Chains A and B, each alone.
Chain A
Amino acid sequence: MKKPQLLIGTVALAVIVLMLQDRGYGQGGRGAAQGNQAPQTGKAAAPFDPTGYWVSLITNNWRFRMVPPAKGDYAGIPISMAGKKVADAWDPAVDEKAGNECKYYGAASIMYQPTRIHVTWQDDNTLRMDTDAGTQTRLFQFGKPSAAPAKRTWQGSSAAVWEARRANNAAPSARYLKVTTTNMLPGYLRKNGVPYGDSALLTEYYDLYQERDGTTMMIVTAVVQDPVYLEQRYIVISHYKKEPDGSKWDPSPCSARW
C-alpha cells in the first residue's frame, strides 16, 4: 500500500472508532430529552418496549404465592407489632362481607402474584398495565403529576419516570422504569392478612433483559415502605417472561380465600 493510501485508510479507521465511541456503542436506548429541547413524552423517551403480554414465573417463595399460607405465617416479612395485631385478627369472611375481596390485589402486592399482565400505552404519557389475576388496572403517569384523586384506590396513584443508574441521570443513559405509588387503599402483602396501610409508599424498578435464546424478561424490584405496619422496608423481586400473544390471558375475580 502506498503512503497516501495508508494514511487515508488509517484516518478512516480512526474516525470510525471515534464515532463508535461517541455513540456509546453497545449501550442502546433512546433516552430522554437533551439540551433545551422540549421534554419527550414517556412513550418517546422509553429506552425499551414494555408493551405486550407477560407471565409471572413463580420460583421464589412459591408456598407464599401460589397458595394462601396459614394465618399467622409472617416469615420473611418485617412485620411490626401493629401489623401483627391486624394480621392476627384477619378473617376472610369479614373482607367478603365488606366487599374487600381485592385487598390482596393492591399495587403493593399485585406484581408478586401469579398473574399475567398486559402492558399498553393508553396515551403518550400513560403506561397501562392490566392483570388477569383480580382484573386490576394500573396506570403509570409520566410527566407532570396530575392532581391527587380525592378517593383512594387499590392501585393508588403512580408517577413514572425513565431513570438512569449513572450519576448525572443524563440522556441517553436512561435504563429502567421507576414507578412511585401512593394513595393506595389499605391492603395485604400476603394472602393471610399481613397488612400495609394507607400511608404505605411503593417504589418499583422495572428492568428488561434480552436472553441469548431470544427470551425477553422483565424483572420488577418492588420496595414497600410502611411506617405503621413494617419495621423496615420490604423488598421483593418478580420475574415476568414475555409471551407472543394474549392466548393464555385468563381473567379471574378477586378472592379473599384463594
Chain B
Amino acid sequence: MWRAASAAAIAILVVGYVGFAQGVNEAPEGVELTGNWVSRSFTEWNTNTHRAYDFLGMPLNDAGRAWALSHSEEQASEPERQCAFYSSTYFPYGFAPLPMWKETELRTGSTVAWVVGGWLDVVPMVIWMDGRPHPSQYAPHSSSGFTTGVWENDVLTTYTTHMIANLLHRRGPHSDLATMTLRFSRHADILSLTGRIDDPVYLSEPLYVSREWELSSVPVNRAAVPCNVAYEGVPEGTVPHYLPGQNPFVEETTKLWGIPLEAVQGGPEEMYPEYRKKLKDKYVRPDHCVANASEIAAGGCGGPGRVAPVVN
C-alpha cells in the first residue's frame, strides 16, 4: 500500500513539475508571437537613411568615438567580410521583416526555442527556451550569438551573449563583450520590440533602441539567403580605414542638417533632455529639407505615398 501511495504522490509531483516548467517556458495562453511582422520604421527612420558619420544619440565612449573616426563603410566590401552579416543587434534596428515561429519538442509539444528569421544581411536568431545555460565566455562567438528567453509578465524577454564584434546596424560599433536584452511585447496586432545593448568597450551607458512592427497575413522571407563573395572594389587582404584627421565624412551631417559636430560624434549626455540647452545656440535649422543619395532612395524628405502600408 505504501508503495502504491508513494508512486501516486511521485506521479503528482512529476506532473506538477512538468506543468510548472511549461508555465515558465511556454507562451501564456492567448499570447501568440508566431507570424509575419512587418517593420514600420516610424520610431527609427535614421537607420534607413544613415550617413557615414552620424552617431546622434549614441552613448559612445572615447573608444567608440575613436572607432567612428577611423571606420570606413567600405569595409563591408572586403571579400573577407561580405558574408559576415550583421549581428543580432540588427533586429531592433533593422527594417527587414520579422518572421517568428517556434520549434517544439516532438514528443511533448513543449517549446524548445523561438526563431526570428534572417534576411539578406542577418542570420536567424534562435532563442532557446529550454533552460540551457549560456556557454563559457571562452566559447566560440558568432554573428547571431547565443540567446536564451523567458516569459516575463507575458512579454518574451531574451538575453544574447557571444556575438562577434560587429556593427550596431549602421550606427556604431559593438565589441565581442556586448550583450543584448530584447523584449517582444505584443499589443493586439502591434509588436513593440525594445532592445538594451550593453558594451563595456564602446558604450558609456546602456543603449536603448526600439522598433515597431505590424502583423501581416502575407508571408515574408523566413531565412537568410545564400551569400556569394564578389569583387566590390576592395582587394583581399586590405582593410579600408581613415587615419586621424582624414575621415572625409566628419562634417557632412553638420553641413546638411546644421547640427554641431560635438553632437554628431555621439556621447551619453546626448540622450538626455538637458542636452538641448547645449544645442540651442549652436544648432542652425536648415531653410528647407535636404536629402542625400541614400535618403532619396528611401523616400527623401518623405511625403504622401512614401510610406508603404502593411499588406493584408
Interface residues of A (CB under 8 A from B): 3-4, 6-7, 10-11, 13-14, 17-18, 20-21, 24-29, 47, 55-64, 66-81, 83-84, 114-116, 132-133, 164-168, 173, 175-176, 178, 205, 207, 209, 211-212, 215, 217, 219, 221, 223, 231-232, 234-237, 239, 248, 250, 258
Q: Identify which of residues 82-100 in chain B touch chain A, using a CB-to-CB cut-off of 8 Å.
A: none
A60 and B16 CA atoms in complex are apart in Å by 45
Contact indicator B187/A236 (Cβ below 8 Å): no
Cβ-defined partner of B212 (8 Å) among A29, A64, A235: A235
Q: Could you tell me the distance between the alpha carbons of A56 and B40 in the complex, rounded to whole angstroms? A: 21
Flag if A165 contacts B271 (CB, 8 Å): no
Question: Residue of B at shortest CB range from A3?
Answer: B2
**A77→B307 contact, CB < 8 A:** yes
Q: Is the CB of A167 within 8 A of B302?
A: no
Indicate if the CB atoms of A57 and B271 lie closer than 8 Å. Answer: yes
User: Interface residue count for B (Cβ, 8 Å)?
Assistant: 87
Say whether B270 contacts A60, CB under 8 Å.
no
Q: Which residues of B contact A10 (CB under 8 A)?
A: 6, 9-10, 13
Most chain A CB inside 10 Å of its own CB: which residue of B24, B289, B290: B289
Shortest Cβ gap from B290 to chain A (Å):
7
Chain A, Cβ-Cβ closest to B183: A209
Q: For A166, list chain B residues within 8 Å (CB).
A: 28-31, 154
Map CB proximity to A onto B44-59 as digits: 1 under 8 Å, 0 otherwise: 1110010000001111
Is B301 positioned at the interface, with any CB of A under 8 Å from its CB? yes
CB-CB < 8 A to A250: which residues of B?
273-274
B182 smallest CB distance to A (angstroms): 11
Cβ contact within 8 Å between B288 and A14: no
**Chain B residues at the A interface, C-beta cutoff of 8 Å:** 2-3, 5-6, 9-10, 12-13, 16-17, 19-20, 23-24, 28-31, 40-46, 49, 56-59, 151-155, 157, 181, 183, 185-187, 190, 192, 194, 196, 206-212, 214, 257-259, 263, 270-276, 279-280, 283, 285-291, 295, 298-307, 309-310
Most A-side CB within 10 Å, residue of B40, B43, B57, B210: B43
Q: Is B23 touching A26 in the complex (CB atoms < 8 A)?
A: yes
Q: Would A75 and B49 count as touching, CB distance under 8 A?
A: yes
**B288's contact among A24, A66, A72, by CB below 8 Å, is which?**
A72
Please report the C-alpha to C-alpha distance between residue A72 and residue B301 in the assembled complex, in whole angstroms.
7
A75 pairs with B9, CB closer than 8 A:
no
Shortest C-beta distance, B199 to chain A (Å), equals 14
A7 & B2 in contact (Cβ 8 Å cutoff): yes
Contact (Cβ within 8 A) B301 A73: yes
C-alpha spacing A133/B273, complex, angstroms:
9
Task: Indicate which residue in A13, A58, A176 contacts B13 across the interface (CB closer than 8 Å).
Answer: A13
Shortest Cβ distance from A66 into chain B, in angstroms? 6
* Bound complex: CA A3 to CA B24 (Å): 33
CB distance from B170 to the nearest CB of A (A): 14
24 A-B pairs within 8 Å (CB atoms) are namely A6-B6, A10-B9, A11-B9, A13-B13, A18-B12, A21-B16, A21-B23, A24-B23, A29-B153, A61-B46, A69-B285, A73-B289, A76-B41, A78-B42, A80-B304, A116-B273, A165-B186, A166-B31, A176-B185, A205-B187, A205-B190, A231-B305, A232-B309, A232-B310
**Measured CA separation A10–B14 after assembly (Å):** 11
Are A217 and B208 in touch, CB under 8 angstroms? yes
CA distance A115 to B145 in the complex (A): 35
- A17 with B286: in contact, given A66-B279, A173-B28 (CB under 8 Å)? no
A10 and B290 alpha carbons, distance in the complex (Å): 73
Q: Which residues from chain B contact A13 at a C-beta distance below 8 Å? A: 13
Q: Provided the pairs A74-B302, A75-B300 are in contact, do residues A165 and B154 lie with their beta carbons within 8 angstroms?
A: yes
Given contacts A27-B153, A68-B285, A237-B211, contact A61 B43 (CB under 8 A): yes
A58 close to B289 (CB less than 8 A):
no
The residues of A that contact B289 with a CB separation of less than 8 Å are 69-75
Q: Give bound CA distance, A130 to B209, whole Å.
A: 24
> How many Å from the CB of B202 to the closest CB on chain A?
15
Which chain B residues border A76 with CB–CB below 8 Å?
41-42, 45, 302, 307
B41 to chain A minimum Cβ distance, whole angstroms, is 6
* Contact A77/B302 with A10-B10, A235-B42, A248-B274 known, Cβ cut-off 8 Å: yes
Q: Contact: B307 with A231, CB < 8 Å?
A: yes
List 7 A-B pairs, minimum CB-CB distance, nearest first.
A167-B30, A76-B45, A74-B302, A62-B57, A114-B273, A17-B16, A237-B210
Contact of B13 with A14 in the complex, beta carbons under 8 Å: yes
Nearest CB in chain B: distance from A118 CB, A? 13
Q: What CA separation (Å) do A24 and B58 show in the bound complex?
A: 39
Residues of A within 8 A of B49 (CB): 75
Q: Are A231 and B154 in contact (CB under 8 A)?
A: no
Chain A residues positioned under 8 Å from B279 (CB to CB): 66-67
With A60-B44, A61-B44: A17-B10 Cβ-Cβ less than 8 Å: no
A57 touches B272 (CB 8 A): yes
Q: What 12 additional pairs, Cβ within 8 angstroms, besides A77-B307, A84-B304, A209-B155?
A: A7-B5, A10-B6, A64-B45, A70-B285, A75-B45, A166-B30, A205-B185, A205-B190, A219-B183, A219-B210, A235-B42, A239-B194
Closest B residue, CB atoms, query A194: B302
Q: A6 to B300, alpha carbons, bound, how many Å?
A: 74
Q: In whole angstroms, what is the CA distance A113 to B14 when docked?
A: 52
